[in-house]
Chain A
Amino acid sequence: MPLLQVEHLSVSFKQGQHESQAVNGISLDLEPHQTLGVIGESGSGKSVMLKSLMGLTRSPKTRISGKINFDGRELTGLEENEFSSVRGKEISMVFQDAMTALDPVFPVGDQLVETIRRHQHLSKKDALEKAVELLAKVGIASPRSRLDQYPHQMSGGMRQRVMIAIAIACQPKLLLADEPTTALDVTIQAQVLSLIKELQKESGMGIIFVSHDIGAVASIVDEIAVMYAGRIVERGSVQQIIHQPSHPYTQALLAANVTLGMKGRLRAIQGQPPRPDRLPYGCAFAPRCQFAVDSCNGMSPKLTTIEQGHDVACWLMEEEPVSANMQVV
């Protein structure tokens, strides 16, 4: 049985007259020990999707549909207080920038301890001991002396380690990482990635790793899902996605990445992604797609399996594989 099974998850936000469709019928599975990378431009809905898995997008102005089955339990129907005891305990999240995701006016020790004590019945003293252990575990030297430090007194890498320590404090089964390395220097990025991988090896947690940077994801994930305008447009193993990108968007993404290097911001793709409140009727990528044909504007393409474990949502894939003439340079 998979650890996480998401079916037809849709999230839309009401903004005055308009309704923004941020996530549009996503389905995905994740096994324990497995790491799924989700890539896409900013605004593709990957972050919203991630937050929705934790119930963090719930609000009177949000409409959420679909199913989220986690560890045999349906999360979508949970009351807020039930959900809050899942968060941080069974499902945790690591955010992009620890500088802004940690509370600037509390010492990091306090921020660890409050998480620990929220989910585990420990005395203050025991929780402090646990906090020290956790800091040591994420590779922070002389952890005890760090407890009283504030986020601004630490380096970027160390802050990210603290956030990871908070996320794994209660041995979650699922770790959601929202671009956890984007704000870091390249060398630190690698350290943090290997730390996450190591922690996974130890605990067997499932990981969904969101990034706009295929390069960063490729080294640690098992599978990649490419998101565009709230949908998954291509899904497959790392090998399949990197070496045989089949959706024109994936191809463009990879090309942009190569051109701009690891830190590319994907500006190389012509045009802008569509506004989530004005999605085109057919394939959302069609206006920017150099291979677009008439049928692309008719209906939105469904995710179709083109080989074992490799799905693509593109009208061009319906008839015959076009990969041959679309090879990336």
Chain B
Amino acid sequence: MTRLFHRFLQAIPTLFGITLVAFALVHIMPGSPIDALVPPDASADVRAQVIHIYGLDKPLPVQYVLWLTHAVRGDFGMSIGMRVPVNQLLAQAIQNTLILGVAAAFFSFVTGTVLGVLAGLNQGKWIDRMVSTLGLAGVSIPAYWLAMVMVILFSIQLGWLPSSGMHSQGQEGNVLDLLAHVVIPAIALGFTPVGVISRMVRTSLLQVVKQDFVLALRAKGLMRRQILWHLLRNAALPVLTVTGLELGYLLGGSILVETIFAWPGLGGLLNSAIGLRDIPVIQAGILLIGTLFVLMNIVVDFVNSAVDPRIQRT
């Protein structure tokens, strides 16, 4: 418990750094929200008026402090483009991104683990080579391409799954309908991590298989599946670390995948916010994603110490 507390304390400077980076990035970025907002032929005083409304006429350090003091209270202001509280936008977006991210993480973790185990236990055989090829494909095939191929095959040709969106008309609460919509985007998003995770599982497993205790387990007369359980528990540690980082990536929201599938998540929200230079949304979005990563790291730490007793728990 104290360790958890310490980890959170340690995270505070990191988070503070993230706020600085988020703020700086947005203000270094060329382009202005006013240009996106006010028609080109608007008069100078109208421009000045709008700049004033959004507080963009104050010196940058003042803007930062104002933003930070509001942010710690959970108030991220209003979206310039949409005139909606940023909190409301981000809450919806992160929820949708989590649905997609968790589905993609589930897909990539399960598939990656199964493939990695198959490859690791059949080292050098055709199945191992197949998994290696697939893993390579995972990191080299663009998500966009894979997404389009799946949409053409499963949505257009076969008509099995919807091609975009989160729900069919009038089916907002229907979980099955949501699942049908999440399948293709989750696979497209989770395909890259499948390669990473399966290779990690394979490598880790091969290292574990070489260890003495595996022979000792056979000498005890344990059956194959019992031994496999030992192997997996031992191979899990590096895999979980990688998975945690991949999960962070998945939960950050993918601009590409969300755009292709018109999935109303964080990536898409940030993408359009960047296009419009919607400063409050971009800042809060970056902060949110940074925080997610920090949290994910803490979670990975704790999962690791739960899985590997050799890591001190104090």
Chain A interface (Cβ < 8 Å from any Cβ of B): 51, 54, 56, 81, 84-89, 92-93, 95, 97, 100-107, 114-115, 118-119, 150, 152-153, 163, 166
Whether the pair B220, A88 counts as a contact (CB closer than 8 A) is yes
Q: Given the complex of chains A and B, what is the CA–CA distance between A95 and B217 in angstroms?
A: 11
Whether the pair A105, B215 counts as a contact (CB closer than 8 A) is no
| Chain B 207-239 interface 0/1 with A at a Cβ cutoff of 8 Å (1 = within) | 000011101111111110010001001100000
Whether the pair A152, B220 counts as a contact (CB closer than 8 A) is no
Closest to A87 in B: B221
| Stretch in B105-113, B192-200, B267-275, B306-314 touching the partner | B306-314
Q: Least Cβ distance of A62 to chain B in Å?
A: 14
Closest to B307 in A: A105
Between B213, B216, B217, B221, the greatest number of chain A beta carbons within 10 A of the residue's beta carbon is seen for: B221
Closest to A92 in B: B219
Q: Least Cβ distance of A172 to chain B in Å?
A: 10
Query: Which A residues are in CB contact (< 8 Å) with B223?
Result: 81, 84, 118
Chain B interface (Cβ < 8 Å from any Cβ of A): 211-213, 215-223, 226, 230, 233-234, 307-310
Query: Which B residues are in CB contact (< 8 Å) with A88?
Result: 219-222
| Number of interchain pairs (Cβ within 8 Å) | 78
Query: Which A residues are in CB contact (< 8 Å) with B211?
Result: 100
Between B217, B226, B233, the greatest number of chain A beta carbons within 10 A of the residue's beta carbon is seen for: B217
Across the interface, A103 reaches (CB within 8 A) one of B217, B218, B219, namely: B217
Across the interface, B218 reaches (CB within 8 A) one of A84, A89, A166, namely: A84
Please, could you name 13 A-B residue pairs with CB atoms under 8 Å apart, sorted by A? A87-B220, A87-B221, A88-B222, A93-B216, A100-B212, A101-B212, A103-B234, A104-B310, A105-B234, A118-B220, A118-B222, A118-B226, A166-B220
Q: Least Cβ distance of A304 to chain B in Å?
A: 35
Q: Given the complex of chains A and B, what is the CA–CA distance between A81 and B223 in angstroms?
A: 8
Closest to A119 in B: B221
Whether the pair B309, A114 counts as a contact (CB closer than 8 A) is no
Whether the pair A56, B219 counts as a contact (CB closer than 8 A) is yes
Q: Least Cβ distance of A210 to chain B in Å?
A: 14
Query: Which A residues are in CB contact (< 8 Å) with B215?
Result: 51, 56, 95, 101
Q: Least Cβ distance of A196 to chain B in Å?
A: 16
Whether the pair A106, B216 counts as a contact (CB closer than 8 A) is no
Closest to A51 in B: B215
Whether the pair B222, A84 counts as a contact (CB closer than 8 A) is yes
Query: Which A residues are in CB contact (< 8 Å) with B212?
Result: 95, 97, 100-101
Q: Given the complex of chains A and B, what is the CA–CA distance between A202 and B213 in angstroms?
A: 28
Closest to A85 in B: B221
Q: Given the complex of chains A and B, what is the CA–CA distance between A93 and B216 in angstroms?
A: 8
